[in-house]
A and B are shown apart, each in its own frame.
Chain A
C-alpha cells in the first residue's frame, strides 16, 4: 500500500504553515466588534430582550463546554448539570454570607472546577457508554445530597440574597453583562485551549489513542484538564443562572440539577456542529428560536430539539456549521493548520490539513 502525500517538502524555506487561511486579525477584530455591540445592548434594547439574551448566553456557555468535552475530548457526559447546579450553589452560599453574587461568580467557576477532580477520579476509568451513565448518576447523587442540607434550602430551594435595594433595570443590565463576560470568557478559553498544545494533544488522542500514548502523550491528564475546564465553565454558567433567577432551586425535574440542562447543551451543540467552536454558537441560536417560538413551559421544544438532534447526529454529523464549512471552507475560529505549497498565494488555495475538524467516532 502506498501512502501518497501532497505536501512533499522539497526545501524547508518554501513550504509555509499557518494557523488560518486569511489573516486572522480580521476575525479577531470582528469578534471584538461583536462583543462590544453586545455589551451595548442594555443601552439599546428593552430589558425583556436582555433577559432572553442572558438565557442565550448561559446556553452558549454550556454548549461550548459540552462541545469541548464531547467533540474534542471524546467524553460524552450526561451529568454536566452537576457542575451547573454546584456553580449556582457556590454563588448562593457566599451571597448568604454577605458577598456580592457577582463577585462570587469566579468562586462558582473555581469551586466547580475543584469538585471535578474527585468526580473524575470516580468515573475516568469507565468506557464511553458507562462513563455517560455514571456522570448521570453522579449528578443525581449530588443533587440528592444537596437536597438534604436544609441550611441552603433543602429540597425547596432558596432565594438569592445580596440584591436588596438595587434598581431592577440596573440589576438586569448587571446580570446581562455578567452573562456576557462569562460566555465570552468561555468561548475564548476554548479557542485558546484548542490552539495550544492541548488542542494538538486532543486531536491526536481522538485520531488514535494508542498511537498518542506511545508518542508520550499523557492521555489521562489531557482529558482531566478538559473535564475540569468544562466543569468550571458549567459552574460559572450556573452562577449566572442563580443571579438571573434570583433563587436557586435544586431538583432533578426543572431545577438546576435537572438533566434537561444537559439535554439542552448537548442538542444545541450537536445541531450547531460538534467538534467546531462555531457550532455551539449556531446551535444556541437554533435552540433559542425553538424555545421562544414554542414557549418554554411546553414540552414540545424539547421533543423537537431531541428529534432534530437525532437526525443531525445520523445524517449531518458535523451539524449546521459542518454544512457551512464543507461548502465554503470557512473557519471563524481556526484551530488547525494550513499547508501552503511554495508560491501559493494566501488568498486562494491552501489545503487544510484536517486538524481539529470533524467528529471523533
Chain B
C-alpha cells in the first residue's frame, strides 16, 4: 500500500500521513481487529507482520476502504477518510496493491495498465515507467520518488530489512511496535507467535460475543 506525500499542501513536518486510531473491525460476528493503531510518516516504509489470520489483510483492506470498521478512525493527510468509498481513496492517494496481484484476467496487459491510468493523478509514474520487477527491487526507487509505503509481510526478515517502522499483529491485537533497530529477534519471535506476557494480554478472556 502506498500513500503519496507529493501534492499534500497541509502536511507538516512531524504530522503523520496516515493516522489510524483504535481500529475495530468485524467480519460478521468475528472480531478481526481489536483496537489497532498506527501512524505512518511521509517517506516511511511501515511493515505489518504476523502469521496467518492475524488480521493483516483485514487491516489493509479497511484502510483501502473495502471494509468498514466498526469503530475507530482513519485519517489521511489531515482528512478523515473513514467513511470514504474505496475509489475515492484511491484517487486521493491511498492505493492498495492487493495480495496475489489481482489483475483483470480478461484484459490484456496494456488494457490493465490503461485501467489504472484512467484515474491516475499526475506524478513521476507513467505507463512507460511501469515494468514488471520484484517489488523489493523497485522499493528504493518508489521511495526516492516520494511515496510512503505501508507494507504487509509474513516473511519477517524481508520486512525487517526494508522497514523503517514495524508493528506485529496476532489475532487482531497489536503485540509489538517499534523500529527494527530497537527490537531483538527474540522479541519479534515472541510477538509473532504469541508467547510471553504480551501474548497473554492479547489473548485473555473472551469478551462478549455479538452485539
* A residues whose Cβ falls under 8 Å from a Cβ of B: 1-6
Q: B204 — nearest CB in chain A belongs to which residue?
A: A2
Chain A residues, CB < 8 A from B29: 3
Q: B34 — nearest CB in chain A belongs to which residue?
A: A2
Number of chain B residues whose Cβ lies closer than 8 Å to a Cβ of chain A: 14
Chain B residues, CB < 8 A from A4: 31, 206-209
4 tightest A-B CB contacts, nearest first: A4-B206, A1-B32, A4-B209, A6-B209
* B residues whose Cβ falls under 8 Å from a Cβ of A: 27, 29-32, 53, 55, 171-172, 203, 206-209
* Best-buried of A1, A4, A5 by chain B (most CB within 10 Å): A1
Chain A residues, CB < 8 A from B172: 1-2
Listed A/B pairs (21) with beta-carbon separation below 8 Å: A1-B27, A1-B30, A1-B31, A1-B32, A1-B53, A1-B55, A1-B171, A1-B172, A2-B31, A2-B171, A2-B172, A2-B203, A2-B206, A3-B29, A3-B30, A4-B31, A4-B206, A4-B208, A4-B209, A5-B209, A6-B209
How far in angstroms is the closest Cβ of chain A from B200?
14
In the bound complex, what is the Cα–Cα distance between A258 and B67 (angstroms)? 44
In the bound complex, what is the Cα–Cα distance between A2 and B206 (angstroms)? 8
* Best-buried of B27, B32, B207, B209 by chain A (most CB within 10 Å): B209
Q: B53 — nearest CB in chain A belongs to which residue?
A: A1
Chain A residues, CB < 8 A from B203: 2
Chain B residues, CB < 8 A from A1: 27, 30-32, 53, 55, 171-172
In the bound complex, what is the Cα–Cα distance between A4 and B206 (angstroms)? 6
How far in angstroms is the closest Cβ of chain A from B82?
21
Chain A residues, CB < 8 A from B206: 2, 4-5
In the bound complex, what is the Cα–Cα distance between A2 and B53 (angstroms)? 9
In the bound complex, what is the Cα–Cα distance between A1 and B28 (angstroms)? 12
Q: A4 — nearest CB in chain B belongs to which residue?
A: B206
In the bound complex, what is the Cα–Cα distance between A1 and B172 (angstroms)? 5
How far in angstroms is the closest Cβ of chain A from B186?
25
In the bound complex, what is the Cα–Cα distance between A4 and B28 (angstroms)? 12
In the bound complex, what is the Cα–Cα distance between A5 and B29 (angstroms)? 10
How far in angstroms is the closest Cβ of chain A from B149?
25
In the bound complex, what is the Cα–Cα distance between A2 and B202 (angstroms)? 10
In the bound complex, what is the Cα–Cα distance between A4 and B207 (angstroms)? 7
In the bound complex, what is the Cα–Cα distance between A42 and B31 (angstroms)? 58
In the bound complex, what is the Cα–Cα distance between A3 and B31 (angstroms)? 7
How far in angstroms is the closest Cβ of chain A from B208?
7
How far in angstroms is the closest Cβ of chain A from B63?
17
Chain A residues, CB < 8 A from B171: 1-2
In the bound complex, what is the Cα–Cα distance between A126 and B204 (angstroms)? 47
In the bound complex, what is the Cα–Cα distance between A217 and B27 (angstroms)? 26
How far in angstroms is the closest Cβ of chain B from A156?
52
Q: B208 — nearest CB in chain A belongs to which residue?
A: A4
How far in angstroms is the closest Cβ of chain B from A49?
47
In the bound complex, what is the Cα–Cα distance between A4 and B29 (angstroms)? 9
In the bound complex, what is the Cα–Cα distance between A5 and B31 (angstroms)? 12
In the bound complex, what is the Cα–Cα distance between A320 and B7 (angstroms)? 53
Q: A5 — nearest CB in chain B belongs to which residue?
A: B209
Chain B residues, CB < 8 A from A5: 206, 209
Q: A7 — nearest CB in chain B belongs to which residue?
A: B209
Chain B residues, CB < 8 A from A6: 209
Chain A residues, CB < 8 A from B30: 1, 3
Q: B206 — nearest CB in chain A belongs to which residue?
A: A4
In the bound complex, what is the Cα–Cα distance between A45 and B203 (angstroms)? 68
Q: B205 — nearest CB in chain A belongs to which residue?
A: A4
Chain B residues, CB < 8 A from A3: 29-30
Chain A residues, CB < 8 A from B53: 1
In the bound complex, what is the Cα–Cα distance between A59 and B89 (angstroms)? 51
In the bound complex, what is the Cα–Cα distance between A4 and B172 (angstroms)? 13
* Best-buried of B53, B172, B206 by chain A (most CB within 10 Å): B206
Chain B residues, CB < 8 A from A2: 31, 171-172, 203, 206
Q: A8 — nearest CB in chain B belongs to which residue?
A: B206
Chain A residues, CB < 8 A from B207: 4
